[in-house]
Chains A and B, each alone.
Chain A
C-alpha cells in the first residue's frame, strides 16, 4: 500500500492489497470496546488524581460525553470513507480521503491500537518490538495489526505534512 498526498487537499491510499483492505475495514469494529472496562478506562483516562474530587465529577458529567461523541464521530467519518474503498477481486484497491478527515483517521487508528493493546495486554516491550513474531498465535497477529495501523498513522502524518503530488 502506498499513501501520499494528492493535489486538491486529499490523501490517496493506493495499491491496497486484499489483506490490507480487510484490516482497514476492521478499524471501526475494533474501536468498539464492547464494554471492556480496561479499554474504556484507557480511552477515558483520569485527568487528575483523586484529590480533585469535584473536578473529576464535573469531568465525568460534562467532558466525558463530549469525548465519547468526538471518538464516535471520528469513527463514523472513517467508516464512511472506507465505504468508498474500491477493490475489485484480483485488483489492488484505492481510497482517496480528504485531508480534512486526517484528524478523524489518526484518532480512530489510535482508538483501535489502544483498545487492541489493552484487550490483549501487550507490554511496552512487545509494542516496541519490530521483529517478525516467532509464532503466529492470535496475539502475534493482533500485534501485527497494531503495527499495521501504526504504519498508516505515520504515513498519514507524513502525507499531511508533505508536499502535494500529481
Chain B
C-alpha cells in the first residue's frame, strides 16, 4: 500500500491585524471628527460621516484595520487631533 505523504503546512507569517478604534467624546464636534477621518485616512466625506455617526451613536467605531505599524501611525495622527483613539487586536 502506498504511503500517503502529508506535506507539512507552511505557516505564512501574516501579522495579526489590529483595529484602530475611535471612541465617543462629547466635546469633539461631528464636523470636526468627519474632517479628521477624511484627512487621516483619506476617506470620502460619506465614509467619514458613517464612521463619525457610528462613534456618536454606538460609542465607538473601528475606523481602520491592518498591520500594527500602520495602525500605530494612524493612532498617533488621531491623538494629534485630540480624538480618543485606541489600538486593539482584531478578532
* B72-91 Cβ-contact flags toward A at 8 Å (1 or 0): 10011001111011111000
Contact in complex: B86, A153 (CB < 8 Å): no
In the complex the two chains form, is A114's CB within 8 Å of B35's CB? no
Residues of B within 8 A of A43 (CB): 82
Q: How far is the CB of B17 from chain A (nearest CB, A)?
A: 15
Residues of B near A49 (CB, < 8 A) are 86, 88
Within 8 A of B (CB), among A27-56: 43-49, 52, 55
Smallest beta-carbon distance A118→chain B, Å: 9
A110 touches B28 (CB 8 A): yes
CA–CA, A107 to B35, complex, Å?
A: 12
Docked complex Cα distance between A111 and B35 (Å): 17
Contact of A127 among B26, B32, B35, B88 (CB under 8 A): B26
The answer to whether A70 has its CB under 8 Å from any CB of chain B is: yes
User: Which residues of A approach B to under 8 Å, CB–CB?
Assistant: 43-49, 52, 55, 63, 66-67, 70, 106-107, 110-111, 113-114, 117, 122, 124, 127-128, 146, 150, 153-154, 157
A153 touches B32 (CB 8 A): yes
Q: Are A128 and B26 in contact (CB under 8 A)?
A: yes
Contact status A63-B79, CB under 8 Å: yes
| B contact patch SS | mixed
> How far, in Å, is B44 (CB) from chain A's closest CB?
14
Query: Is B29's beta carbon under 8 Å from chain A?
Result: yes
Instruction: Tell me if B31 counts as interface (CB < 8 A to partner A).
Output: yes
Tell whether, in the assembled complex, residue B88 and residue A48 are in contact, meaning their CB atoms are under 8 Å apart: yes
Interface residue SS majority, chain A: helix
Q: Provide the residues of chain A in CB contact with B1, threshold 8 Å.
A: none
Any A CB within 8 A of the CB of B27: yes
B79 touches A106 (CB 8 A): no
What is the CA–CA distance of A113 and B87 in the complex, to the nearest angstrom? 25
- B28 and A47 form a contact (CB under 8 A): no
Question: B79 to A67, Cβ gap below 8 A?
Answer: yes
A157 touches B82 (CB 8 A): no
Contact call A47/B82, Cβ cutoff below 8 A: no
- Would A52 and B87 count as touching, CB distance under 8 A? yes
Please report the C-alpha to C-alpha distance between residue A52 and residue B88 in the assembled complex, in whole angstroms: 9
